[in-house]
């Protein structure tokens, strides 16, 4: 017992000495600020509100000149009578490329997918298709996972199939030097980690790395990619638990909207070639997870296979009205075929 006590005292003394040396050689002015901004994705967005389990959420019953949500917080009009019994329900879930950034409710890809189904009078088991837009701007795979679980647990909406389109915000957050899984939901690390980084120079150096006058560029984050993979697998398990079909949708992108000098979203700059390669790596992870579970990945003309579609995008990731229409049109037939081929399962 005495030996253990001595060892503990020696360890504490070493830690205190190392902390003191760190404070001498690395003054606070040289340190990289930690990322901690829980209001990052709600600031300036009147259609967003805080949420205890998902960080933030779409406001219910919201309406402005561009966006509208129903009483359940989906980007749809109020659901019709006999919604549960008369319709084959498609839940499109993801981030801003599902939500339909800077296009009105009728021009998101889920809305245009439902319009196509209506025009073609598509029927699944005698039911018309109804597509629910559960996209929320800036969502990560962690938030999407929590949202899907919430939807299924509440039972207010019982989808027949989930369309999952999620990737980009996981890549953005992977460039945060003090990356932690909690950042993917709350845009801040746990309180204890935050306290340590603020009060211990040694902890700050361990987590954030040595100070550098040069901007860090093109650094991979394997933990972020692994978290992305785990979240996709968890959402597949959720769908299987509730006996719901699932299909992945390729995330849209236009490389011509990306500056040649790359992107500096957070603390590590991504050059253009590196960002594209990271996107392909995340996409391959998504495709592998889907293949292992025997779920389809629905491709379209705005995916990573077609990087130069500038006229169809508002920016790097967000399609125009026409771009969303093409995206919906490309995935419509394979989606219907997949649903019908599995309708008896």
| pLDDT mean values, one per 10 residues, the chain (345 residues) | 69 68 72 88 95 97 96 94 89 98 96 95 91 98 98 92 98 95 96 87 80 81 98 98 97 93 87 95 98 98 95 97 98 96 70
Beta carbons of 307 and 255 less than 8 angstroms apart? yes
The runs of H, that is alpha helices, within 218-320 are 222-241, 272-292
* Short-list 227, 195, 170, CA closest to 36: 195
Indicate whether this model's pTM tops 0.75: yes
267's tokens: 């603390």
Predicted pLDDT of residue 96: 98
Beta carbons of 176 and 193 less than 8 angstroms apart? no
d(CA 168, CA 312): 18
Beta carbons of 262 and 275 less than 8 angstroms apart? yes
Beta carbons of 334 and 342 less than 8 angstroms apart? no
d(CA 139, CA 147): 10
Beta carbons of 138 and 96 less than 8 angstroms apart? yes
Predicted pLDDT of residue 25: 64
Assigned fold of 31-341: Rossmann fold (3.40.50)
Burial letters for 321-335: b for 16+ Cβ neighbours within 10 Å, e otherwise?
bebbbbbbebbbeeb
CB neighbours (10 Å) of residue 181?
A: 18
d(CA 30, CA 46): 37
d(CA 254, CA 242): 35
| DSSP 3-state of 125 | coil
Q: What is the DSSP letter of 156?
A: S
Residue spans of the domains in the chain: they are 31-341
Place of tokens 């100070």: 211
Beta carbons of 133 and 75 less than 8 angstroms apart? yes
| DSSP 3-state of 96 | helix
d(CA 244, CA 71): 24
Beta carbons of 290 and 229 less than 8 angstroms apart? no
């Amino acid at each position: 017992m005495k030996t253990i006590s001595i060892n503990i005292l020696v360890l504490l003394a070493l830690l205190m000495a190392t902390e003191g040396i760190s404070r001498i050689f690395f003054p606070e002015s040289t340190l990289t600020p930690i990322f901690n901004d829980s209001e990052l994705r709600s600031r300036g967005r009147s259609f967003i509100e805080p949420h205890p389990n998902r960080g933030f959420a779409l406001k219910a019953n919201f309406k402005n000149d561009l966006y509208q949500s129903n009483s359940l917080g989906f980007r749809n009009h109020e659901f019709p009578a006999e919604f549960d019994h008369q319709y084959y329900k498609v839940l499109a879930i993801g981030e801003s490329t599902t939500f339909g950034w800077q296009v009105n409710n009728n021009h998101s890809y889920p809305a245009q997918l439902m319009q196509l189904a209506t025009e073609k009078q598509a029927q699944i088991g005698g039911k018309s298709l109804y597509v629910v837009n559960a996209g929320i701007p800036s969502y990560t795979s962690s938030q999407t996972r929590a949202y899907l679980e919430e939807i299924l647990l509440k039972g207010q909406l019982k989808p027949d199939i989930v369309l999952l389109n999620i990737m980009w915000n996981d890549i953005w957050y992977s460039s945060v030097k003090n990356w932690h899984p909690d950042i993917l939901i709350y845009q801040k690390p746990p309180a204890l980690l935050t306290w340590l980084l603020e009060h211990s120079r040694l902890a700050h150096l361990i987590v954030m790395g040595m100070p550098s006058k040069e901007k860090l560029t093109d650094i991979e984050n394997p933990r972020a990619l692994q978290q992305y993979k785990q979240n996709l697998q968890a959402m597949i398990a959720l769908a299987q638990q509730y006996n719901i079909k699932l299909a992945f949708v390729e995330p849209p992108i236009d490389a011509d909207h990306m500056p040649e000098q790359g992107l500096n979203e957070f603390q590590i700059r991504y050059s253009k070639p590196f960002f594209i390669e990271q996107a392909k790596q995340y996409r391959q992870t998504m495709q592998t997870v889907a293949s292992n579970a025997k779920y389809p990945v629905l491709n379209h003309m705005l995916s990573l296979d077609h990087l130069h579609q500038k006229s169809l995008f508002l920016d790097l990731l967000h399609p125009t009205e026409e771009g969303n229409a093409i995206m919906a049109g490309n995935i419509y037939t394979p989606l219907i075929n997949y649903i019908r081929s599995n309708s008896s399962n």
